[in-house]
Amino acid sequence: MSWNRNYGQLLTGGIVLAVALAGCAAAPTVDAQRAPTVGADAASVVNAEPASVGPCAEFPPGVAAEGRDYEGWWSSSPADESSAILQDPEDWPQQMRDHLRTALVDVQTAEVLSTYDRVSCSRIEDFSPAPASDWPETGVVVLDADTGEVLEHLEG
């Protein structure tokens, strides 16, 4: 009788172990999930974290500038007629989709007033504008942070 009971426990334990191991075999390992893509520079891709979290419709608290700043399409959350936030970038206004990273700059001092990065859902760190001849003489410009294109001119 004891042999049958021990055999039954052994058999039950073996089934549980087999099921557990089958579940482990089906799950990819951490290294397999982070493997470099074909044709990529392996040194720069191995164990790399995702480059972005966006594009984001809403900026988290603390992204807006603390000093002089201006509100506009560059800093606002895209919304429909009922004021519901449009989370899908395909539903955003074209200008917002075309310029995901923007900066507001005082043209007389080249001081960066604020930056908005919808790709990383944060500010653009260490943004340094290159004043251009197409800038107006006074006011604030809204720039595409990647191209330097003047998108808006704000008086004041």
pLDDT category at 61 given cuts 50, 70, 90 is confident
pLDDT category at 53 given cuts 50, 70, 90 is low
Per DSSP, 91 falls in state: G
Euclidean distance between CA atoms 141 and 107, whole angstroms = 7
Strands (E), the chain: 101-106, 112-117, 140-144, 150-154
Angstrom distances, CA of residue 127 to CA of 102, 117, 148: 10, 11, 11
**The pLDDT of residue 76 is above 60:** yes
Specify if 39 maps to a domain. no
Q: Render pLDDT for 84-115 as a digit per residue (tens, 0 to 9).
A: 999 999 999 999 999 999 999 999 999 999 99
> How many domains does the structure of the chain reveal?
1
Q: Kindly report the pTM of this predicted structure.
A: 0.63
**The pLDDT of residue 5 is above 90:** no
Specify if 66 maps to a domain. yes
Pseudo-torsion of CA 106, 109, 110, 115, nearest 10°?
A: -40
Q: Which domain holds residue 58?
A: 52-156
Euclidean distance between CA atoms 49 and 34, whole angstroms = 8
Phi, psi of 98 (to 5 degrees): -75, -25
Specify if 3 maps to a domain. no
Q: Render pLDDT for 7-49 as a digit per residue (tens, 0 to 9).
A: 444 444 444 434 343 444 433 333 333 232 333 332 322 333 4
What is the Cβ-side half-sphere exposure of residue 32, based on CA atoms within 13 angstroms?
Answer: 5
Specify if 42 maps to a domain. no
Specify if 148 maps to a domain. yes
pLDDT category at 80 given cuts 50, 70, 90 is very high
Specify if 43 maps to a domain. no
SS3 content of the chain, % helix, strand, coil (to 5): 25, 15, 60
Specify if 138 maps to a domain. yes
Specify if 8 maps to a domain. no
